[in-house]
Amino acid sequence: MTKKVEVKNLTKIFGKRSPRVKELITQGKTKAEILEQTGATVGVNQANFHVNQGEIFVIMGLSGSGKSTLIRMINRLIEPTQGTISIDGQDLMTLNKKELREVRRQKMSMIFQNFALFPNRTILENTAYGLEIKGVEKNVREQKAHEALELVGLHGYDHQFPQQLSGGMQQRVGLARGLANDAEILLMDEAFSALDPLNRKDMQDELLDLQEKMHKTIIFISHDLNEALRIGDRILIMKDGVIVQTGTPEDILTHPADDYVKRFIEDVDRTRVLTVANVMIRPNTINIDKDGPRLALRRMQENEISSVYVVDSARKFVGFADAKDVVGLIRKESRDLRSVVQTSVPTTHPDVPVNDLMDKLSSTPIPYAVLDDDHHLVGIIVRGAVLGAIAGNGVAQE
């Protein structure tokens, strides 16, 4: 994976910029200590991370953690005190005003928490803003802006003004403005935080759908861990200007770096992040090509269950057999296990989020069979294991 954005040692100090502050920072003093000793506020303290091409990278933290400062340093809306930012290997800190403007025009688009739409411009003119200042001809830019608006699902609002639209719609315009510009990097600053929960979820889905098609590199700021876990390919957690942990959602849930992160994830709705693979258990199986009904019955007795899953020699899934039917078969002295195997078993895939299964899980009497892409039986889902995982017990088992 290529690194699209790379940030090294990035630091922002507000207020006094004495060399003493820098010294304290390199000594590893905390924000509170530096404020007490020098009166300067540390916004971001020596951040190091990279963002891969095409991923959604979420920067997570509570207010005051420095996440907004961090994202604004990436396009130098806030001038870093020290450190480097490179995009496609180009160091932004060495650019003059004009070159920086060019990078902002071509490579990055920003989407804001409170939408930041220009109230004096129509929706179409707002969307076309980035193109307009690049000097794109009116017809062309309006065409592109119109397409971007269609893409985010806004039809027929082209000539209205921002204040005539609801919050959710306004943020779609904000998103369209970012997309119309054709930038490879989207900087989204708490883009969905001002929306109500339903709208927020819609927009998250929409962003994921769009990302599927467009493969942008997205840096997304959020204070909501559920949102971060839902949309992030990787998550960076900040506290007091310092990066506490960077990792995939699963990393963070399963191996929280410290108590701060642990406290964060305690509140998480785990069903949103846990996939079937996290909660499935190993099933007892019999091989239909060589095992007979007696062995099947023994397996059930061993495990004190009333059914058994049936696979073939290649471990491909066939179905399952019920104890009653197997007993009937033995009474008839038949070895034809195939005649009693039921094939209408609910199946699912390891990557499916548990959330999507919750409803069905409670209404089906037979445990779900988890099949991989090659139709191999890799596990089954029983209700008890799912509940355990959601409660936070089962995650670490693998």
Chain contacts with other proteins (rule: CB under 8 A): 72, 75, 77, 101-105, 108-110, 112-114, 116-120, 129-130, 132-134, 177, 181, 187
Nearer to other proteins among residue 133 and residue 208 (C-beta): 133
Mapping DSSP to helix (H, G, I), strand (E, B) and coil, where does residue 52 land?
A: strand
The residue among 5 and 370 lying less far from other proteins, judged by its C-beta, is 5
- To the nearest whole angstrom, how small is the minimum distance from the Cβ of residue 114 to other proteins? 6
Rounded least distance, CB 110 to other proteins, Å: 4
**CB of 109 or CB of 348, closer to other proteins:** 109
Distances (CA, A) of 392 to 127, 230, 279, 383: 44, 18, 11, 15
- Comparison of 190 and 291: residue with beta carbon closer to other proteins: 190
Q: What is the CA radius of gyration of the chain?
A: 27
CB nearer to other proteins: give 133 or 314: 133
**Residue 181 Cβ, how far from other proteins at the closest point, in Å?**
7
**Residue closest to 279 by CA, chosen among 126, 383, 183:** 383
Cβ at position 104, least distance to other proteins in Å:
4
Non-local (6+) Cβ contacts of 329 within 8 A are 293, 335, 336, 337, 339, 340
Q: Rounded to the nearest whole angstrom, what is the least distance from the CB of residue 215 to other proteins in the complex? A: 21
Tell me how far, at minimum, the Cβ of 263 lies from other proteins, in Å.
31
Q: What angle do CA 248, 254, 256 make, to 5 degrees?
A: 80
Residue 22 or 105: which CB sits closer to other proteins? 105
- Closest CB 176 distance from other proteins, rounded Å: 13
CB-nearer residue toward other proteins: 178 or 394: 178
Q: Which residues pair with 12 in a beta bridge?
A: 44
Distance between alpha carbon 238 and the CA centroid of its chain, in Å? 17
Please identify, using beta-carbon distances, which residue of 114 and 193 lies nearer to other proteins.
114
For other proteins, the closer of residues 71 and 236 by Cβ is 71
Nearest alpha carbon to residue 134 among 111, 102, 110, 107: 102
The one-letter amino acid at 286: I
Contact 229, 249 (CB under 8 A): yes
As given in the structure block, the two tokens for residue 126 are 């707002």
- Cβ-based burial of 77 (10 A; exposed 0-12, middle 13-18, buried ≥19): middle
Q: Which has the closest alpha carbon to 71: 89, 90, 85, 91?
A: 85
Instruction: Output the smallest distance, CB 209 to other proteins, in A.
Output: 24
- Distance of alpha carbon 370 from its chain centroid, rounded? 23
Cβ-based burial of 384 (10 A; exposed 0-12, middle 13-18, buried ≥19):
exposed
CB of 141 to other proteins, least distance (A): 12
What tokens does 363 get?
A: 């209404």
